[in-house]
């Protein structure tokens, strides 16, 4: 952990609110970004971020200095979100690519010279991704967001989710497989063209 962060954490543990305010300023953007991706709502993201920092402040006594503060606050955020079971679901970034054992599901956004038909198809696909993400479990959506959108490795996700490395790998694999199957099924049923796929 960075020495500056460690010093601020130590001071915060001793009741120095100014030190914790500095920690909030350092991590608020990353925490809010995660909250927004989880809730897909600005107001819900603000509420969740505020709740996460309040929870973090009250839980500082249990924070181990050898741990990473950013990972720790993300863990608190994820746990709060799962426990509240919000109705709104995250939307997977259309710039991401989900890798599965059977290949990749690409969400690349087309270039600016796309035709009107391409624009319609892209909007249909965006809506399709939203619906399929809604069909995933809380745990599966969360691991995909942490892995594909925030770039956490398996060990870090295990810390955030408070589970074993094997569980993380299993959840990510199942989430990718389920998402791909759901997207392909919905696309076929609704005659939606997937990016990079040509209609026959």
The pLDDT of residue 23 is 92
Residue in this structure with the two tokens 């709502």, named with its chain if needed = 41
Six-digit token string for 95: 């710039």
The pLDDT of residue 126 is 65
Q: What is the mean pLDDT of residues 178-190?
A: 79
Six-digit token string for 186: 């919905």
Residue 113 has pLDDT above 90, yes or no: no
Each residue of 142-154: pLDDT tens digit? 898 898 878 889 9
Rg (CA), the chain: 19
Q: Give the span between the Cα atoms of 53 and 83, in whole angstroms.
A: 16
Q: Measured between alpha carbons, how far is residue 133 from residues 99, 155, 181, 193 in Å?
A: 16, 24, 12, 18
Put simply, whether the predicted model's pTM sits higher than 0.95 gets the answer no
Provide CATH code, domain 97-190.
1.10.10.10
The pLDDT of residue 55 is 92
Q: Give the span between the Cα atoms of 152 and 134, in whole angstroms.
A: 22
The pLDDT of residue 64 is 81
The pLDDT of residue 121 is 57
pLDDT bucket at 183, cuts 50 / 70 / 90: confident
Q: Which of 53-67, 127-141, 163-177 has the lowest mean pLDDT?
A: 127-141
Fold (CATH) for 3-84: Rna Polymerase Sigma Factor; Chain: A (1.10.1740)
SS3 labels along the chain:
CCHHHHHHHHHHHCCCHHHHHHHHHHHHHHHHHHHHHHHCCHHHHHHHHHHHHHHHHHCHHHCCCCCCHHHHHHHHHHHHHHHHCCCCCCCCCCCCEEEECCEEEECCCCCCCCCHHHHHHHHHHHHHHHHHHHCCCHHHHHHHHHHHHCCCCHHHHHHHHCCCHHHHHHHHHHHHHHHHHHHHHHHHHHCCCCCCCCCC
Each residue of 46-85: pLDDT tens digit? 999 999 999 999 998 888 877 789 999 999 999 898 887 5
Q: Locate the domains of the chain by residue range.
A: 3-84, 97-190
- In this structure, are residues 173 and 143 in contact, taking their beta carbons and an 8 Å threshold? no
pLDDT bucket at 22, cuts 50 / 70 / 90: very high
Answer with the residue of higher pLDDT: 166 or 114.
166
Answer with the residue of higher pLDDT: 43 or 132.
43
């Amino acid at each position: 952990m960075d020495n500056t962060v460690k010093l601020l954490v130590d001071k915060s543990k001793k009741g120095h609110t100014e030190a914790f305010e500095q920690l909030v300023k350092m991590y608020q953007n990353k925490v809010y970004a995660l909250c927004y991706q989880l809730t897909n709502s600005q107001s819900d993201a603000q509420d969740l971020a505020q709740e996460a920092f309040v929870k973090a402040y009250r839980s500082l006594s249990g924070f181990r200095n050898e741990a990473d503060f950013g990972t720790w606050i993300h863990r608190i955020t994820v746990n709060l979100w799962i426990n509240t079971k919000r109705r709104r679901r995250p939307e997977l970034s259309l710039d991401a690519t989900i890798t599965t054992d059977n290949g990749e599901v690409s969400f690349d956004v087309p270039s600016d010279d796309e035709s009107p038909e391409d624009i319609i198809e892209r909007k249909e696909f965006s809506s399709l991704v939203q619906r399929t993400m809604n069909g995933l479990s809380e745990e599966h959506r969360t691991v995909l967001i942490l892995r594909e959108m925030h770039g956490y490795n398996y060990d870090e996700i295990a810390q955030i989710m408070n589970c074993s490395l094997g569980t993380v790998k299993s959840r990510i694999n199942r989430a990718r497989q389920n998402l791909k199957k759901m997207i392909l099924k919905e696309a076929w049923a609704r005659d939606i063209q997937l990016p990079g796929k040509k209609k026959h």
